[in-house]
Amino acid sequence: MNDKLKELVKLQQIDIQVMQIENKLEEIPEEIKGMDERVEQLEVDFQNASKEMNNLLVMKKEKDNDVLSIEEEIKKHQKELNSLKSNEAYSALLKEIENCNKKKEEIENEQLGIMEKEEQFIINKDKRHKELDEKKAVFNGKKKELEDEIQRLNNLLAETQSKRSDAARGVEDTVLVQYDRIRVKKRGIGIVPLEEEACGGCHMIMTPQEVSDVIRGQDTIVCSSCMRIVYFDEKKEEQQNKDLQNT
C-alpha cells in the first residue's frame, strides 16, 4: 500500500473514533432526560395519591353533615309519632325512621372505609416517601456520572479532532477532498479494505483488473458501486495466510 493510502487509513480510523464519541455524546443527554422524566413521574404519582386521599377526607367531612341532617330528621319523625292518630300513618312513619337509620348506618360505614384507607395511606406514605428519596438519590448519582462522562467525552472529542487535523495534513489534498466527500455521503466510511475480491464497504465483487490495481496500490481506486476508496490491507492478508498455515 502506498504511503498516501496509509495516511488515509489512519485518518479513517480517527474519523471512526470521532463518530463514536459524537454518537455517545448524543445518546447520554437522552438517557439523562429519560431518567428525569421517570423521577418526575414518581413525584407526580406520589402527589396524586396525596390529592386523592385529601379528596376522600373532604368527602368524609361532608358525610358528617349528611349524618347530622339524617339525625335531625329522625328526631323530627320521633316527635311526630306522638301526634299521629291512625295506625297506618304510625307504621308508615316507623318505616321511614327505619329507612333513615339504615341510611345513616350506610354513610357511617362509608366513613369507616375512608378512615381505614387513611390509616393505610399514613402507613404507606412514609414508606413511599423513603422509596422516592432513595430512587432520587440513585438517579442523581447516575446523572452525575453521566454528566462527568459528557465532560470526559468532550475533552476526548477535542483531543481526537486535533489528532484528526494532524492526520489530515498527511493526506494529499485531492485525495482528502475525495475521501471527505464519500465519507459524508456513506455514513462516515470513505475508505475500506479489499475483502478477497470484494469491496469491504458494500461487498460488491470487483473486476480482476480493479482487484489487481488495488493490490498494486499505485493509484487511488474506488469501488464502482459505492464509490468508496478501496485499499489492500497487507497486514491483514499476512495474518490470514499465517492463520491458514497454522490450520
Positions in the binding site for Zn ion (CB under 5 A):
199, 201-202, 223, 225-226
Please, what is the minimum distance in Å from the beta carbon of residue 143 to Zn ion?
A: 43
Query: What is the spatial distance between Cα 171 and Cα 179, in angstroms, rounded to a whole number?
Result: 10
Please, what is the minimum distance in Å from the beta carbon of residue 225 to Zn ion?
A: 5
- Edge-to-edge strands, sheet with 191-195: 198-199, 191-195, 229-231, 221-222
Please, what is the minimum distance in Å from the beta carbon of residue 202 to Zn ion?
A: 3
Of 111 and 225, nearer to Zn ion (C-beta) is 225
**∠ CA(156), CA(16), CA(209), 5° rounding?**
155
Q: Is 194 exposed, middle or buried (0-12, 13-18, 19+ CB in 10 A)?
A: buried
Please, what is the minimum distance in Å from the beta carbon of residue 16 to Zn ion?
A: 17
Please, what is the minimum distance in Å from the beta carbon of residue 226 to Zn ion?
A: 3
Of 190 and 201, nearer to Zn ion (C-beta) is 201
Of 121 and 190, nearer to Zn ion (C-beta) is 190
Please, what is the minimum distance in Å from the beta carbon of residue 210 to Zn ion?
A: 11
Non-local (6+) Cβ contacts of 19 within 8 A are 188
Other C-beta atoms closer than 10 Å to the C-beta of 138 total 12
- Per-residue three-class SS string for 182-244: HHHHCCCCCEEEEECCEECCCCCECCHHHHHHHHHCCCCEECCCCCCEEECCHHHHHHHHHHH
Q: Is 199 exposed, middle or buried (0-12, 13-18, 19+ CB in 10 A)?
A: buried
Of 167 and 223, nearer to Zn ion (C-beta) is 223
Of 167 and 221, nearer to Zn ion (C-beta) is 221
Please, what is the minimum distance in Å from the beta carbon of residue 162 to Zn ion?
A: 31
| Number of helices (H), then strands (E), in the chain | 5, 4
Q: Are 233 and 194 in contact (CB under 8 A)?
A: yes
Of 170 and 193, nearer to Zn ion (C-beta) is 193
Of 99 and 225, nearer to Zn ion (C-beta) is 225
